[in-house]
Amino acid sequence: MGAMATIPPLCTTTTRKDIMSVRTPHRTAVEAAISAAGGLTPADGPLLELARALARQVDAAGPDGPGTRLAATYLTTIRTLMLRLGPLDAVGGTSKLSQLRAAHQRFTEQKGA
């Protein structure tokens, strides 16, 4: 007789509500970007939902990471989302890059006035 196959453990049922409420690294980043944005309209709803869904899929990809197509789709969606979000909160920016962008924006506004 050969080796016996192991039986996978029983899984508990996970509802859609449980999945939607879990905050994972990419999902957290998407939500942070959305909450820092201004000027979103109801027309942006599908793009926001797509970004959230892709973020969940990227986070669920596991240790091997997402596949090439999923990663490319996610990055394209994030780029599109960032273009729609417009300038983020210049005062609350914490990264060096956001501080430099805010300083540059203030400089160009003063120069143009």
Residue 97 lies in a domain: yes
Whether 49 is in a domain gets the answer yes
pLDDT (0 to 100) of residue 56: 93
Q: Domain total for the chain?
A: 1
In a domain, 71, yes or no: yes
Which domain does 39 fall in, by range? 22-112
Whether residue 16 lies inside any domain: the answer is no
Asked whether residue 26 is domain-assigned, the answer is: yes
What is the pLDDT at residue 5? 47
Which pLDDT does position 95 carry in this prediction? Answer: 67
Q: Identify the CA nearest to 31 among candidates 54, 48, 16, 13.
A: 48
Residue 5: inside a domain, yes or no?
no
Query: 41-78 burial string, b = 16+ CB within 10 Å, else e?
Result: eeebeeebeebbebbbebbeeeeeebeeeeeebbeebb
Supply the pLDDT for residue 50. 94
Spans in the chain with pLDDT lower than 70: 1-23, 87-96, 112-113
Structure tokens given for 27? 């999902």
* Residue 31 belongs to some domain of the structure: yes
What is the structure's pLDDT at 33?
Answer: 82
pTM of the model: 0.57
